[in-house]
Structure 1
């Protein structure tokens, strides 16, 4: 059996009418919107690198430690984008169903405050666990996830079964959960958090090191090759058109190159000198004359975000629930007539969103080593913007988890770059707002063309 399953003359005629770029995109089946996002991200990175270099009076290609494109800044960028990326994966489902969730930032703040209170006060003083007990972080995380699930279930029930518009319900939730976060501790900051819990926030201890990072990267590359081969076998089995072998090889090589490149960047960022010195003293290590280089490796919050992205991609693409979500978003009336329990599906989507808000709250509070009343403020804007920029249509029915995560990275790149350039916070908000409006406008133009 040959690899080619269809040789229709009409298809060949249409292919010859395409230019070189069109033939390349057709052969590789690359999503042009995703390709445009990658190009926009690279353009932003290069622009921020040039601007930050010019402000410092250095050569943009020398990659000074104070400019944008450095291992340190990119590592921190990945950690900062993790919390938004986690929630953006759930926001995709919400928007695909033609709903919106304006309460995710406030829910994140309330859940973070409750988890902090559980660690510092409830589990230690009321339950009687000793500080450093390995159950503290696990119980606090379980409490946070349970609270997120209840928040999502409550809002989803009101939206689905009481038929109150999602905009109104979640707008009320934005105010209610933010106020409730203040009442947990009367607005006081809770710190420090459990040492094990802090690992979910990154930092020198919250990373897996160089060796394990390379192992993770190699396993990821093997998984990419396996998925490409598996996909090709499935296409043969069901007699679908196959991509050319060169296209499969190119996709695998580029994907693995990006993965290994990211690992190399993560391993290029060393521990701070002070932490290295304390580590060497505690372990009886003699620091050589040139200094001791200990790489951070991949941060744990990044691994959490990637794991959430993989799970959510599987849910949206490979499960009946995911197909129902897109069917409801495409045509709610037809989905209802087809026998889909649209109300229960809607409620489950908001429950998932609540759980993801809890995971983001854990990552954000662990990174700050504190639970504050301001945690998650305006994150709803970033999450919605990330999903929309990533290709999720506000008209419903279309969107991808990978696009939303890439959108989160793009939004965080803008914010980090503006902080690096010492741009005032009000102007940062103006830029984020403009980016969101432009993204929706571009989505409208794209849908008209399609």
Structure 2
């Protein structure tokens, strides 16, 4: 009898091991990105996939990508932040004023700017978490307040030019050899963590994805990574803003998936009442989500201000909508509890690719707004439809 149970258990484990979940959403995003690249390459005679344009494309998406990382956590927690565009403008204006008007050194400017962004996020998070004001209203008010403060402190002027390391932040590139070294380190770490995760699951008796699936993914990611590095090195190298995005993405992927805070955010967005009953401090976690969003908005502002070599009163306008669209296109549910940072980054790349490709084709700007709006509506419809099918 015991032998039969053991045999049955082994067969069950084998069945689980040989089965894997087809992630339709992830493959749909990848296919969409490939189709966009092919279409624009055809209409631009291959220029869309040139090394120079790819470098410009990654630079272009960097600001929205940083905002999308923070916005993913905000939306997953069941909230929204409409103020990030104005917060980008305000913190970028503060950074430029401190250096251009008051002569602060670059490091001090960076630190103060990020601290200011975090404090403004703290202020908004306090209203949402501890005073129960809906995030939509708080951040809508923040959008107006921050833009007004920017116009006031800058006196409506463009603050320029920047100096030293500040100017280089958004306009510098890694040496070719460093780019390849970092890519190899990333691939080695990916292999290491995959092996470690498989070993851990095996020791716990959990179902394993077939090895050819996991290692096949590593092979695809490795080829893609080395191909991108090669293409970028054919121009000037890996842009520094792209490196910042990759670093922040790695950090926040770890935070969202491997820490108690990250799991709490998903639990809050999935079912706030159940999260409270399980002992999660909802107010504190929501507060921290807004603090992180504020800090990331400040980082995005430093990249944008550096890239433009100036701070303007219109900086960051409509960026909140692009960040939200990137998250939604990447699979983050506006209902909360569901979303991945990698998906948001792919969403940001899709949005940037559409802007870049249509600009290269000399398509008028109003069409870009129309296309992005339609894509956003389609992405939300797909999310709602998938939830209905699951129910």
Scaled by the length of structure 1, the TM-score of the pair is 0.82
> CA-to-partner distance for each residue in 1:147-183, whole Å, 9 max, x for gaps?
1011101111111111111111111111111111111
Question: 1:146, CA displacement in angstroms?
Answer: 1.1
Q: Give the equivalent residue in structure 2 for 1:160.
A: 129
- Counterpart position of 1:80: 60
Distance across 2 between alignment mates of 1:35 and 1:170: 33
8 Å CA contact retained: 1:224, 1:256: no
1:301-316 to 2 correspondences below 5 Å: 301-316=241-256
Contact 1:6–1:241 (CA under 8 A) maintained in structure 2: no
Q: How far did 1:30 drift?
A: 5.5
1:257 aligns with 2:223: yes
C-alpha distance in structure 2 between counterparts of 1:426 and 1:178, whole Å? 24
Q: Say whether 1:358 aligns with 2:298.
A: yes
2:26 matches 1:34 = yes
Could you tell me which runs of 5 or more consecutive residues in structure 2 were left unpaired when the two chains were aligned.
Answer: 1-7
Counterpart position of 1:142: 111
The structure where helix makes up a greater share of residues is 2
Q: How do residues 124-203 of structure 1 correspond to structure 2 at under 5 angstroms?
A: 124=103, 136-202=105-171
Q: Contact 1:77 / 1:412 at 8 angstroms: preserved in 2?
A: yes
Which runs of structure 2 are paired with 1:31-430 in the superposition (5 Å)?
A: 31-53=23-45, 63=46, 67-122=47-102, 124=103, 136-202=105-171, 206-269=172-235, 296-430=236-370
User: How far apart are the structure 2 equivalents of 1:6 and 1:404?
Assistant: 39
In structure 1, the residue matched to 2:4 is none
C-alpha distance in structure 2 between counterparts of 1:360 and 1:375, whole Å: 11
Which structure is larger by alpha-carbon Rg, 1 or 2?
Answer: 1
| Counterpart contact for 2:13–2:207, Cα < 8 Å | no
Quote the Cα distance in structure 1 between the aligned partners of 2:165 and 2:13.
62
Structure 1 spans left out of the alignment, 5+ residues: 16-22, 54-62, 130-135, 270-295
How far off is 1:249 after superposition?
2.5
Structure 1 moving runs of 4+ over 3 Å: 5-12
Query: In 1, Cα distance between the equivalents of 2:88 and 2:351?
Result: 18
Please provide the CA RMSD for this pair.
1.9
Q: Distance in 1 between matches of 2:203 and 2:14?
A: 21
Q: In 2, Cα distance between the equivalents of 1:302 and 1:367? A: 12
Aligned 8 A contact 1:102 1:174 in 2:
yes
Size of the aligned set, in residue pairs, is: 384
Residues 201 and 364 of structure 1 are in contact (CA less than 8 Å); yes or no, is this contact kept in structure 2? yes
Distance in 2, matches of 1:335 and 1:382, equals 30
Distance in 1 between the 2:29 and 2:65 partners? 15
Residue 10 of structure 1 deviates from its aligned partner by 9.6
